[in-house]
């Protein structure tokens, strides 16, 4: 067995599959993404002009950069069957995991580079340092990212959840302090002290966790499956993803609310769709995240017309995500044995779909009222959105099978 060829084959297979889904996603939302980026860039530039000398830019930069530095795990492309078939060869797998570390490092360096590029105008506005100083900081931050990935790799060789949480807190604190002192151009002795702490922590992690005699297959496979599932859940918003495994979460408090939302006359499928929305496939998580991001954008963008555009954009994205709920049971044949017609099932799904979007439109329109202080804007947005939601759900569901 050639370990390097095995890793290259695994990575190539994954990206062939992923590239098809990425193409579907771009085809569906390419114009929305372009418009969103243009609007965000325009208002980011305008927001920078409104900032005064009291704005804590170093604190904000350090928080954002430290957050991205702390998260991120090593992709190994391991599969469930590997814990059986690769177990006899685990002493030969060092080249395989070395390639995994190199791949993950390059991948995460791209993200941190993109973030630093976006944050550069904010740094340039306040700091008198030369561009060369910022470029040096970029190189140091990227080395910091490599340190974080190595630490993350060692800590995930230990299957202890409490250790993972403590590790996140420790690394975030170190990342924040290091980035803050670096951008503030603190005394070189302070930077040297931070470096010594990081090197000491790295040696501790390596000696404590990195000298395991055996590979924790379950732990590494779980990390890989979670990474793949996150991408497939995103792709599932745009097209059918047969590889997606449904993950059920208890959410006992939320499921108790179903009794308030579903009446007996709404039918069994309405009840089923509500439970699925709250517990399976992360529909609820995406719905809440879209609501949160949309609210933040509306609050921080001063232009009333732009807030209306964002309001409808995020309602559209939520509706797009909720439509995939209709296909959630396509592979479960026993569901079709229930004595209820397709039209009745569509009607019950439509009720759930409309209620969820109307709840979101009410909450977002309240945010518009808080931002614009103009009741007419809020009323206009809400009335138009309700008309679109009611019409859109009827038209789209007629085409569904």
Q: Read off the pLDDT of residues 65-106 as tens digits, 9 standing for 90 and up.
A: 999 999 888 888 888 888 888 888 877 888 888 899 899 989
Predicted local confidence at residue 271, as pLDDT: 85
Predicted local confidence at residue 339, as pLDDT: 79
**Domain locations along the chain:** 3-236, 252-399
Predicted local confidence at residue 66, as pLDDT: 92
State the 10-residue block means of pLDDT for the chain, 401 residues long: 83 85 69 70 78 84 91 86 82 86 89 86 74 79 90 78 82 92 86 90 81 74 83 68 64 70 73 83 78 82 77 84 78 75 85 89 87 78 84 72 59
Predicted local confidence at residue 238, as pLDDT: 62
Predicted local confidence at residue 237, as pLDDT: 61
HEC readout, the chain: CCHHHHHHHHHHHHHHHHHHHHHHHHHHHHHHHHHHHHHHHHHHHHHHHHCCCCCCHHHHHHHHHHHHHHCCCCCCCCCCCHHHHCHHHHHHCHHHHHHHHHHHHHHHHHHHHHHHHHHHHHHHHHCCCCHHHHHHHHHHHHHHHHHHHHHHHHHCCCCCHHHHHHHHHHHHHHHHHHHHHHHCCCCHHHHHHHHHHHHHHHHHHHHHHCCCCCCCHHHHHHHHHHHHHHHHHHHCCCCCCCCCCCCECCCHHHHHCHHHHCCHHHCHHHHHHHHHHHHECCHHHHHHHHHHHHHHHHHHCCCHHHHHHHHHHHHHHHHHHHHHHHHCCCCCHHHHHCCCCHHHHHHHHHHHHHHHHHHHHHHHHHHHHHHHCCHHHHHHHHHHHHHHHHHHHHHHHHHCC
Predicted local confidence at residue 211, as pLDDT: 65
């Amino acid at each position: 067995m050639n370990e390097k060829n095995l890793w290259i084959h695994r990575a190539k297979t994954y990206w062939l599959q992923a590239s098809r889904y990425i193409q579907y996603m771009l085809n569906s939302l390419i114009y929305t993404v372009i418009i969103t980026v243009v609007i965000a860039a325009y208002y980011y530039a305008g927001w920078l002009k409104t900032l005064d000398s009291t704005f804590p830019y170093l604190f904000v930069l350090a928080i954002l950069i430290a957050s991205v530095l702390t998260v991120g795990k090593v992709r190994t492309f391991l599969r469930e069957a590997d814990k059986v078939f690769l177990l006899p060869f685990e002493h030969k797998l060092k080249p395989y995991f070395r390639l995994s570390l190199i791949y993950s490092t390059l991948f995460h360096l791209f993200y941190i580079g993109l973030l630093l590029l976006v944050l550069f105008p904010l740094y340039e506005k306040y700091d008198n340092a030369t561009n060369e100083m910022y470029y040096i900081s970029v190189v140091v931050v990227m080395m910091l990212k490599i340190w974080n990935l190595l630490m993350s790799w060692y800590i995930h060789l230990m299957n202890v959840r409490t250790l993972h949480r403590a590790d996140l807190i420790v690394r975030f604190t170190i990342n924040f302090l290091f980035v803050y002192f670096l951008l503030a151009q603190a005394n070189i002795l302070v930077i040297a002290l931070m470096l010594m702490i990081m090197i000491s922590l790295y040696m501790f992690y390596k000696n404590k966790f990195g000298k395991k005699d055996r590979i924790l297959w379950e732990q590494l496979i779980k990390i890989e499956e979670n990474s793949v599932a996150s991408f497939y859940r995103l792709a599932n918003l745009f097209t059918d993803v047969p590889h997606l495994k449904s993950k059920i979460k208890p959410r006992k408090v939320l499921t108790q609310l179903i009794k308030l939302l579903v009446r007996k006359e709404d039918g069994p499928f309405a009840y089923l769709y509500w439970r699925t929305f709250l517990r399976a496939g992360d529909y609820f998580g995406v719905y809440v995240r879209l609501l949160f991001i949309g609210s933040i954008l509306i609050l921080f963008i001063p232009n009333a017309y732009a807030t209306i555009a964002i309001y409808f954009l995020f309602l559209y994205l939520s509706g797009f995500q909720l439509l995939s709920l209709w296909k959630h049971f396509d592979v479960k044949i026993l569901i079709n044995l229930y004595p209820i017609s397709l039209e009745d099932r569509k009607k019950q799904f439509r009720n759930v779909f409309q209620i969820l979007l109307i709840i979101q439109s009410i909450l977002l329109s309240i945010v518009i009222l808080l931002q614009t202080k103009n009741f007419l804007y809020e009323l206009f947005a809400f009335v138009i959105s309700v008309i679109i939601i009611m019409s859109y759900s009827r038209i789209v569901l007629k085409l569904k099978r």
